[in-house]
Amino acid sequence: MMYFERWKIWLIVIVCIWGISYSSPNLMPDAMKAKLSEMSSWLPNKSVSLGLDLQGGAHLLMQVDMDYAVQNRLNDMSEAAKRDLLKERIGYVGLRIEGESVLFQLRAQDDETRSKALKIARKLYKGVEADISDDGLITATLSPMSVTEIKTQTLNQSIEIVRRRIDETGTREPVIQRQGYERILVQLPGVDDPERIKQLLVKTASMTFHLVDENSSEPGARLSPSSIMYPMKENPQIQLAVKKRAELQGERLVDAQPSFEDGMPVVTFRFDRIGTDKFCRITRENQHKRFAVVLDKEIVTAPSINEPICGGAGRISGRFTVQETVDTSLLLRAGALPAPLTFMEERTVGPSLGADSVSAGKVASLMGMSFVLVFMIAVYGLFGIFANIALLVNVALIFAVLSVLQATLTLPGIAGIVLTIGMAVDANVLIFERIREELRNGRSILSSVETGYGQAMSSIVDANLTTLIAALMLFSFGTGPIKGFAVTLWVGIMTSMFSAILLTRLMVVMWLKAKKPQTLPI
pLDDT computed for residue 151 by the predictor: 92
**Identity of the residue numbered 172:** R
Fold of 6-22+50-56+351-515: Multidrug efflux transporter AcrB transmembrane fold (1.20.1640)
**Weakest-pLDDT range from 38-42, 98-102, 345-349, 498-502:** 38-42
Confidence bin at 191 (pLDDT 50/70/90): confident
> Residue 334 above 80 pLDDT?
no
Return phi, psi of residue 108, to 5°.
-95, 150
d(CA 353, CA 53): 8
The CATH superfamily assigned to 66-147 is Eukaryotic phosphomannomutase, cap domain (3.30.1240.20)
Confidence bin at 172 (pLDDT 50/70/90): low
Fold of 207-315: Gyrase A; domain 2 (3.30.1360)
> Residue 54 above 80 pLDDT?
no
pLDDT computed for residue 64 by the predictor: 92
> Residue 448 above 60 pLDDT?
yes
Coil, strand, or helix at residue 179?
strand
Taking the model in full, what pTM does it have?
0.63
d(CA 161, CA 334): 6
- What is the three-state SS of 335-370? CCCCCCEEEEEEEEECHHHHHHHHHHHHHHHHHHHH
Of residues 423 and 61, more confidence is placed in: 61
Return phi, psi of residue 241, to 5°.
-90, 130
pLDDT computed for residue 15 by the predictor: 92
CA nearest neighbour of 312 among 271, 344, 257: 271
CA nearest neighbour of 461 among 417, 415, 496: 496
d(CA 205, CA 334): 9
Each domain of the chain, given as residue ranges in start order, spans 6-22+50-56+351-515, 66-147, 207-315
Q: Strand (E) positions, 135-231?
A: 137-142, 175-179, 183-189, 207-211, 227-231
In angstroms, the Cα distances linking 96 to 77, 103, 146, 329, 493 are: 10, 5, 19, 37, 62
Whether 430 and 459 have beta carbons less than 8 Å apart is answered as yes
> Residue 353 above 70 pLDDT?
no
β-bridge mates for residue 140, sequence order: 102, 130
pLDDT computed for residue 354 by the predictor: 60
Confidence bin at 66 (pLDDT 50/70/90): very high
Query: Tell me: the pLDDT tens digits for 253-268?
Result: 778 888 888 778 888 8
Confidence bin at 2 (pLDDT 50/70/90): low
